[in-house]
Each structure stands twice: as C-alpha cells, then as structure tokens.
Amino acid sequence: MSNELYTFVKEALEKGQSRSAIERALQEAGWQQEEVQKALASFAEVSFPVPVPKPKPYLQAREAFLFLISFITLYTTAFSFGILIFAFIEKLFPDPVSYGFFSPRGLTTALSSIIIAFPLYLFMMWRLAKAAAKDPERRQSKVGKWLTYITLVIAAGIIIGDLIAVLASLLSGELTSRFVLKAFTVLAIAGSIFGYYLWSLQKEEKEKEEKTASMEKPVGVRVFAGLVVVAVLSAVVYGLTLVGTPAQQRLIQFDERRVSDLQQITYAIDSYWERNKSLPESLENLRDPRYYVQSLSDPKTGEPYEYRLTSEAAYEICATFETDSSQYENQVFPPYSGGVSFWEYGIGRTCFSLEVRKLMTPTGETVPVPAKP
C-alpha cells in the first residue's frame, strides 16, 4: 500500500469524510478500487474521534512461502557455485603432492542444483520486489528480516573462518595457489551475500525513518547484480562443456567399468600366481570364487577381455574403450604397480603389458593379492 494513499485516507477520516465519499474521490483521481478498499480497510469502523487503525499482519502465508523459497534457493546456489569453482581450480591447478583426478561426473549435482535453484531465486526476488512496490509495508516482514539476519550471521561466520584459515596456512607455510584461490572463492561468495543483504537492511531502515519508499537500486548495486548473473552463467556454461552430453557421460561410465574390471582381473592374476606359481592359461581360470572377479567380459558388448601370455611372469590384457583418457590431462594420479596407469587409454583397442606383482607379509612370506570387491 502506498504511504501517500494511507495518509490521505487517515486525514480524510479525521476530518469526518464518509468512506463512500473518500472512495469516490480516490477513484476519480485514478486510484484502483482494490487499492482504495485496502486503504479503507486499514481503519476500523468504530465510533471514535480519530481513525482507529486495524492490527496489520506483517506476513501472510504466501509471503512466508516466497521468503523461505528465496533463501533456500540462495543457499543452494551459493553452495553449488562454490563446488563448481573449487572443481575448476582443482582441474586447472593440480596439486603434485596429493593423488587424485578430476572427474567431470562430479559436477553434475552442482550444475543441476544451480540450473534449478538460481532462476528460481531470481524469480522469487522479483516477486517479492513487485509485491513491495505495491505495498511498501511488506518490506517490514518479520520472517524476511529474521532470515536476512540469519544469513548475515552465517556469511559473517564463513568470512571470519576463511580469514583464520588463510592466516593459519600462511603461518604454517602451506599457502599454495590452490588454497589461496579456494579461500578467495569462499570470501567472494560469502562477502557478496553479506554485503548485499546488509545494504538491503540499511536501505529499509533509512526508508522507515524518512517515511519514503523507493524500489530504484543504485547503479553500483545493479552492476553488482549483473556481474553475479554473468559469473554464475559462465560457471554453468564451462561446467557443461566439461561434463558433456548425457550420451558422453554414459560412454565414460562404461570405460570406468572396464577399468575397474581390468584392475580386478590383474589382482586375480597375481593371486593365481601366488597359489599356483604360474600364470593362468586363460581368463576362464579366474572364475574360481577364490579370486573375486566380478566380470571377465566387456559390460557393453559382452565380449571377453583379451588376455595372452608374453613370458613366464608377464602378460598382456586388452579392452576396447569408447573415450580418451587424455581428458584427464594435467591431473595427478596414483602410480600403478609396474609403472603402468590404467588411465592411459585412447578410443579403440588398448592393451596393457604387465608383470606379476608379489606382495610380502612382515615375516617375508608371499600372500595372495585379493581382488577389489
């Protein structure tokens, strides 16, 4: 409700004007009937020298829904955006000290969350702003203020914790470029949320004191909002290029299954060697439950994996892959015993030349190597 309309109705009632006369005058002046009736309904129809205002609920169920959804989607977007940026940092700046690899599949949940939550957050904020433009008193929502202050507390806590972590890493000599970039990401996300909602609260308090209401945002705030939208959209687009299409992801899943199968087979071959002091003549010898091999054939075609002996204690195992492991370039992987990495494969038939691995117990006895369950 417009403060101007509310004040006019209040003064007209104070001067003894009837409600019908006030309504007629306002409609002739161009006010909508709904607005006029709402302004008149703000005052009780009781006999008293001055207008008696009715108690006003600060928040309706519909507004509570909008506020709750807006803050839930805000938290979801901020958290998922942070996950995306962290993943980009790990891909572009691999840490040679720790083992690990970048997998685009890890981005799917974060991307899905942003694609759903961020547009919904913008829509909810637009609806709340539109409602506040029609009725500035809605800006004094108690639930909205509570959620805003809770958000400020959370953001402030994250900022303080982030700065403490940076200082602690600096003092311990562990301040790497990866850590600095991740710390800056957390600081930027939490700081942006803290700054925007603090400005919003200060603006509401100022308007309340001056008894004015303006939905116009300063140029700086509009530029900031535009940069946030651009940053989120850019992260989503880059993430989608890394993830690829659903069909590509399916091919990657098949290749990951093939890698897992080959690893289990090599463990089983090592175990077979320890038991029999020789290599199996074929993979069929590994079907014994003692070797824990889940599959000896390609998960897609059903064709058995290729296997042949190259010497008394060496062999070659082959599989046909549908993707290229070079998509994991510039990443750090744990070394495979024998100096071969199962991640190094191209599209098509790829073979791995391996030797039997012998594991020793603390007493020096050889033991079978169990397959990965």
- Assess whether 252 and 264 both reside in one domain: yes
> Looking at residue 121, what is its pLDDT?
94
Domain match, 212 and 76 both = yes
Residues 194 and 75 in one domain: yes
Q: Give the pLDDT confidence score for residue 358 in this predicted structure.
A: 61
pTM above threshold 0.95: no
At which of 200, 225, 244 does a domain end? 244
* Residue where a domain stops, chosen among 227, 244, 261: 244
Count how many domains the chain has.
3
Please check whether residues 260 and 184 belong to one and the same domain.
no
Q: How far is CA 182 from CA 160, 189, 210, 243, 329, in A?
A: 15, 11, 42, 21, 21
Q: Does 187 lie in the same domain as 134?
A: yes
In the listed set 14, 37, 53, which residue is the last one of a domain according to the structure? 53
Same domain, 70 and 49: no
217 vs 222: CA distance, rounded Å = 6
- pLDDT at position 45 is 79
Q: Running DSSP on this structure, what letter comes out for residue 321?
A: E
Q: Residue 20 sits in which domain range?
A: 3-53
H helix or E strand, kind and range, residue 315: strand 314-321
Has residue 97 been placed in a domain?
yes
C-alpha span between 103 and 242 (Å, rounded) = 9
Question: Do both 11 and 82 map to the same domain?
Answer: no
In the DSSP assignment, the letter for residue 327 is G
Structural domain includes residue 352: yes
CA distance 220 to 205: 19
Report which of 98, 82, 113 is spatially closest to residue 181, judged by C-alpha positions: 82
Q: Are residues 205 and 329 in the same domain?
A: no
State residue 338 phi and psi, 5-degree precision: 100, -5
My answer on whether 231 and 283 are in the same domain is: no
- 98 with 121, same domain: the answer is yes
Does residue 268 lie within any of the structural domains? yes
pLDDT score for 140: 66
Residues 210 and 72 in one domain: yes
Residue 150 lies in a domain: yes
Query: Within a domain: residue 373?
Result: no
Residue 232 has a pLDDT of 94
What is the pLDDT tens value at each position of the chain, 373 positions in all? Answer: 567 787 888 888 888 888 888 888 888 888 888 778 878 877 877 777 778 777 665 556 777 888 899 999 999 999 999 999 988 888 887 766 655 556 666 788 999 999 999 999 999 998 888 877 776 666 667 778 888 899 899 999 988 988 888 788 777 766 678 888 888 999 999 999 999 999 888 887 776 666 555 556 778 888 888 999 999 999 999 998 888 778 888 888 888 889 889 888 888 888 888 888 888 888 888 887 777 888 888 998 889 999 998 888 888 989 999 887 776 554 444 444 444 455 678 888 988 888 887 644 444 444 444 433 3
Give a yes or no: residue 212 inside a domain: yes
Look at residue 244 in the predicted model and tell me its pLDDT. Answer: 77
| Residue from 68, 191, 204 nearest 124 by CA | 68
* Inside any domain, residue 335: yes
Inside any domain, residue 127 = yes
239 shares a domain with 220 = yes
